A and B are shown apart, each in its own frame.
Chain A
């Protein structure tokens, strides 16, 4: 009962986030006249197809114009363009949610489609690949080093990491990325500066995949470097806090081996808050991905954001804002579920 209730409350909150963002987007679009322009673009696009179809059956130009004009009126009625923007809110929300936002102005998907939905769906996996890999690597290194550091509090290394964590708060990942590009790609010619594949891309599945990995090294390294300091420090502090609890002292007093105390007594208890930070970090890096992907010309949703800004493509920007929020909310909900699984205290209160 209480377990379902906790999850439901968190789920509702996150749903609230999604609804609020949607409302914000739709109201801002409507009030500034952006939605009118987007819908007009969709109407014009449909009319172009209709005109071509009609031109085949109607040969008199005047008649054709009249027919097209009548069709335009129908479409304007259908999309509600002749009514004030707030009456269209529900329809607009539906469009955003289903990514039914017409065609991008200049941007094309890899296959050449201008549909906003296919553009975004195509880019999504690359963002997910980049972020999950980087988070995974950071987490593993952070856990290993952080736990180790917790046993060496006050040493030179320990102080160094605590300063590193302060620096990583102040260091923008995208600027660090630029530095790495200048240093590793252009001075030392070690790694490619950006992109997804070499030109020309190597043939064959495995080679192609390895080429992709080769190009992913630099962006992933950047993401790991800028978050690692803070992450190690978090793990260290959490392990340290738990290690001062009485039950740990008791376990040691019972003569249990230190490795067992660490795994079964300290880490098991420290796991939920550590996990919280992993998923929070993942969620936070979503926003950062916009900048990192831009720097490395990594064709994920973040780079698409940059391209959409550069070409002033409002439908793509709206769709991406929604997608980023959706991903964020999904990551947060995953966290809540995992938290409940990992922390028995939540289940039994």
Chain B
């Protein structure tokens, strides 16, 4: 065993393969420890989690290649509930460095408690030129008939306002421009330009156009209470970026870095469990077929002949479509359809061995058939079987990716294939969203390559004649 390890590390491809595998395993462990196992259903496929993220945004480091043309994503949050006093004030500083205004502005409020009069929440922007504009004035919904104080609002689902789409906000900003700059901007005209207006000054001579105004801004959120014991839980202000995170986001605003990370352990589990079990099955049946001979042999061989000729992907598509989109089903099917090739090869190896001296000697010693088959013969072919197992690992990963790409992925478990599928289905491929399409594919190829390289590195272990040729 130690010998095999040394031979593996002796070859270039073996070393690279081992290094890649180490990375795969480490990342997977990290993910299993840090992300919840029900990540897919509770977070990945829950739009509420991703509401405050920019949609289809490239990675944050893309900004280096587009200086001044991007704006980072900024989230401001109050720390915990604040109470006492009739007015609560939260101030957040924001610096506009480039020429691009935020892609959207969102405001969220949660866990508001009051005893008689509902609090009034307002949001004001202090601009870089010293002027102030009030964007929003929101009255928390009052008591319902029959409701008893204290009244609790937005406890389970926070109040979330996308300021760019609120008619009140458009009207407020339009009126403000009229007062401050004397330009007439209708609220309709501000549609889609709200951020440019709030973070800019009107372009002279071009009505409806704005020039960016760089500098330091401050968002001031005020909550006016009716009673000193009233409280406001959490206040969140989001200035949407045009870039986001390490790997960008998809069309739903999902952080692709998280989805890609979660794909690591999933891919490893799919690949290794499938290859381990189907190799075990194939080896067992192969040894049985080769050593027992006779009717057992004929039955197993005829069956593997037929079974190995079934075209895999069409059958997988059919079975997964009819039986349901479950990942464990995909793994089970891959195990059931993966063994015959190996069984045929193992049988021919066992046939050679059966007439060899080792088997003859153990038979003479009175060893049982079971003992000969699964101790002596199995240990002889173990290196070959192990290499086959490594070689078979990518097959399952690639098959799962293909199925996911056809829209047959397990919706509760995000995989690289599914990320690619959503990119393809929503047309990301055709508009050049490379951060959505390239990384998952590269990860699939890199993972598959890891096992191919390991197989290449293991070749001298399996076939000792190759060792001297190095």
Contacts and interface: CB of A to CB of B under 8 A. Distances in A.
A172 interface: yes
A172 B424 contact: no
Interface residues of A, number: 49
A309 B53 CA distance: 31
User: Which secondary structure dominates chain A's binding surface?
Assistant: helix
Contacts of B321: 309, 314, 317
B309 A13 contact: yes
A16 interface: yes
Contact of B406 (A29, A167, A283, A309): A309
Interface string B303-336: 0011101111111011101110000000000000
Interface string A167-200: 1011110110011011000110000010000000
Interface stretch (B70-78, B95-103, B187-195, B427-435): B427-435
A317 B315 CA distance: 10
Nearest to B429: A178
Contacts, number: 127
A314 B323 CA distance: 12
Contact of B323 (A17, A28, A169, A172): A28
B448 A169 contact: yes
Given A166-B456, A182-B434, A290-B317, A175 B306 contact: no
Nearest to B319: A28
B199 to A, nearest CB: 32
Contact of B430 (A175, A193, A287): A193
B416 to A, nearest CB: 10
B314 A175 contact: no
Interface stretch (B291-299, B344-352, B394-402): B394-402
Contact of B318 (A174, A175, A317): A317
Interface string A4-32: 00000000011011001100110011001
A182 B420 CA distance: 14
Interface in B392-416: 394, 398, 401-402, 405-408
A290 B306 contact: no
B317 A167 contact: no
A290 B322 contact: no
A294 B452 CA distance: 27
A262 interface: no
B453 interface: yes
A314 B322 contact: yes
A112 B311 CA distance: 30
B316 to A, nearest CB: 9
A310 interface: yes
Contacts of B311: 283, 286-287, 324-325, 328
Given A29-B322, A172-B402, A309 B408 contact: yes
A14 B434 contact: no
B429 A170 contact: no
Contact of A20 (B306, B424, B431): B306
B273 to A, nearest CB: 19
Contacts of A171: 445, 448
B133 interface: no
Nearest to B305: A13
A174 B431 CA distance: 18
A294 to B, nearest CB: 7
B444 interface: yes
A24 B322 CA distance: 12
Contacts of A187: 432
A29 B398 CA distance: 27
Contacts of B305: 13, 16
Contacts of A291: 313, 402, 405-406
A21 B456 contact: no
A287 B445 contact: no
B284 to A, nearest CB: 21
Nearest to B420: A175
A16 B311 CA distance: 13
A179 B420 CA distance: 12
Contact of B445 (A24, A32, A170, A309): A170
Interface residues of B, number: 42
| Residue from A14, A32, A321 having most chain B Cβ neighbours under 10 A | A321
Contacts of A295: 424
Nearest to A312: B321
A324 to B, nearest CB: 4
B407 A310 contact: yes
A28 B309 CA distance: 19
A21 B406 contact: no
Nearest to A193: B430
A34 interface: yes
A176 to B, nearest CB: 8
B437 interface: yes
Contacts of A167: 445, 449, 452
Contacts of A182: 429, 432, 434, 437
B441 A14 contact: no
A57 B322 CA distance: 42
A306 interface: yes
A329 B305 CA distance: 13
A287 B306 CA distance: 17
A85 interface: no
A21 B307 CA distance: 9
Contacts of B306: 13, 16-17, 20
A288 B407 CA distance: 15
B314 A325 contact: yes
For the complex of A and B, list the 6 residue pairs with the smallest distance between their C-beta atoms, beginning with the closest: A287-B313, A170-B448, A324-B314, A175-B441, A321-B318, A16-B306
28 contacts: A17-B309, A20-B310, A28-B319, A32-B323, A167-B452, A169-B448, A170-B452, A174-B402, A175-B441, A178-B424, A178-B429, A179-B441, A182-B429, A287-B311, A287-B313, A287-B314, A288-B313, A290-B313, A290-B317, A291-B402, A306-B406, A309-B407, A314-B322, A317-B317, A317-B318, A317-B322, A321-B315, A328-B309
Interface of B: 302, 305-307, 309-315, 317-319, 321-323, 394, 398, 401-402, 405-408, 420, 424, 429-432, 434, 437-438, 441, 444-445, 448-449, 452-453, 456
Interface of A: 13-14, 16-17, 20-21, 24-25, 28-29, 32, 34, 166-167, 169-172, 174-175, 178-179, 181-182, 186-187, 193, 283, 286-288, 290-291, 294-295, 305-306, 309-310, 314, 317-318, 320-321, 324-325, 328-329, 332
